[in-house]
Amino acid sequence: MNYRITIKEGKEKQLLRHHPWVFSGAVKSVEPKFEIASWADVYTESGIFIAKGWYDEKSHIILHLISWREKDEMGASYVKKLVREAIMRRKDFFSASATTNAFRLIHGEADFLPGFAVDVYASTVRIIISSRFAMAFLQSVVEEIDAILHPSLIIASSDAQYASTEGLGERTRYFIKGEEKRIPDDRIEPVTILENGIYYEIPGTKGQKSGFYVDQRDNRVIAEEYAEGRTCLDVCSYTGAFTLHLLKAGAKSVKAIDSSEGVLRHLLYQVHLNETKKTLKEGSREKVEILSGDCFELLRNEEKNKYDLIILDPPKLAKTKGALENAMKAYKDLNRVAMEKIKAGGIIITFSCSGALSREDFKTVISWSAKDAGIECQILRTLSQGEDHPIRLSFPESEYLKGYVLKIIK
């Protein structure tokens, strides 16, 4: 079945500029009446072709636009073509395997594959699904990845944040040689990866998102430049990727705080792992202190003017535009308190991974934090996600990770 969809007058402008999201309020008519999710041809009220996409009234985004070429034939073979193209755009990452073998393979709408976040972890591939489109074409994507890369295992999980709104259900599926296999979760072994010369052990099935945040790869190396000989605080550390880089650079000490005691224990294990492999100096473990609890409260309880370097990498605080106002208040509070805890002349490396928060708004929030803290603040560097997480200009939401290196003047 192929739907013909007409967009309301005045709602077509963004779509003609290749923005891929269409919500129900923009749709004037659907022919024939919706029965099952399927491909659609999309037109303006005056009958001008806009794009081709996937129409599903059970999705919170009812229409995902995929192609703006009228001649393209939509189907599983076209999805496989998009997968091949995404992999080819990242061919240079495969040649960098001597120091890095973990990276993003498919970055959702930025690669024209809505709801697919696919990461390579050595010989394992992890797929996180956040849309009904992605669930519908999971098998096609798995088959194409297997045909090109021949991974030992492909693990596909639904994103807990979207599972209920998209009706995906929370489950994990395993594929070997392109075919789904029944494997008990406790049989999935952790994967050891290498990123910029540092080793990490990634959980087999458990963990936030795909188990590791490869989008911060370049920023972790940048953080090294400010760490030597400094007293450091890693806020929302997760399993310690920033901490490991600070230690590698010769930090005097690192205090890592996170809400989970378990991930902090894993952080200490990863320090030990890298000492064993000689990628960190002996004695690195003695430089690390861990503390679990509410990161905002733990930061508030820290001594003022204590740290030379603070990393602020909180989870997504604005999951939707409706949550933006409260999220901005939380970002402001977090950065203000950090500015109180940093020494004069110290460095704060601060991030937001909320796609709903623009870079300019994040900069504004930081300026509010500085004003309330009674300090001056200089931006030394502007940070973003790695190049394997490309920012598609027609889809500004793909620029979700924003960061700054700040010099604090008191």
Residues 6+ apart with CB under 8 A from 48: none
> What's the confidence (pLDDT) of residue 210?
56
The amino acid sitting at 318 is A
Dist. CA 1–CA 145, nearest whole Å: 27
What mean pLDDT is predicted for residues 388-399?
95
What mean pLDDT is predicted for residues 140-148?
98
Residue 169 pLDDT grade (very low, low, confident, very high; cuts 50, 70, 90): confident
What mean pLDDT is predicted for residues 239-244?
96
Span 37-59, pLDDT tens digits: 999 999 999 999 999 999 999 99
Cis peptide before 32 (omega within 30 of 0): yes
What mean pLDDT is predicted for residues 244-262?
97
What mean pLDDT is predicted for residues 110-127?
96
Dist. CA 161–CA 400, nearest whole Å: 16
Residue 231 pLDDT grade (very low, low, confident, very high; cuts 50, 70, 90): very high
Q: Which phi and psi (to 5°) does residue 347 adopt?
A: -115, 130
Lowest mean pLDDT among 140-144, 169-173, 307-311: 169-173
DSSP 314-367: ---S-SSGGGHHHHHHHHHHHHHHHHHHEEEEEEEEEEE--TTS-HHHHHHHHH
> What's the confidence (pLDDT) of residue 205?
65
What mean pLDDT is predicted for residues 308-312?
98
> What's the confidence (pLDDT) of residue 354?
86
Residue 365 pLDDT grade (very low, low, confident, very high; cuts 50, 70, 90): very high
> What's the confidence (pLDDT) of residue 317?
83
Lowest mean pLDDT among 188-202, 223-237, 320-334: 320-334
Judge whether residue 379 has pLDDT over 80: yes
What mean pLDDT is predicted for residues 61-87?
98
Lowest mean pLDDT among 51-60, 86-95, 109-118, 220-229: 86-95
Q: Please name each of the domains of the chain with its CATH number.
A: 2-70 (2.30.130.10), 77-187 (3.30.750.80), 213-409 (3.40.50.150)
What mean pLDDT is predicted for residues 129-141?
97
Span 263-284, pLDDT tens digits: 999 999 999 999 999 999 999 9
Span 314-348, pLDDT tens digits: 988 866 667 788 889 999 999 999 999 999 999 99
Q: Pick the more confident residue, 363 or 354.
A: 363
Residues 6+ apart with CB under 8 A from 297: none
> What's the confidence (pLDDT) of residue 324?
84
Dist. CA 61–CA 304, nearest whole Å: 46
Lowest mean pLDDT among 42-51, 79-88, 156-165, 334-343: 156-165
Judge whether residue 99 has pLDDT over 80: yes
Judge whether residue 311 has pLDDT over 60: yes
Judge whether residue 160 has pLDDT over 90: no
Are the CB atoms for 49 and 13 separated by under 8 Å?
no
Count CA within 13 A, CB hemisphere, residue 343.
10
> What's the confidence (pLDDT) of residue 336?
98
What mean pLDDT is predicted for residues 23-41?
97
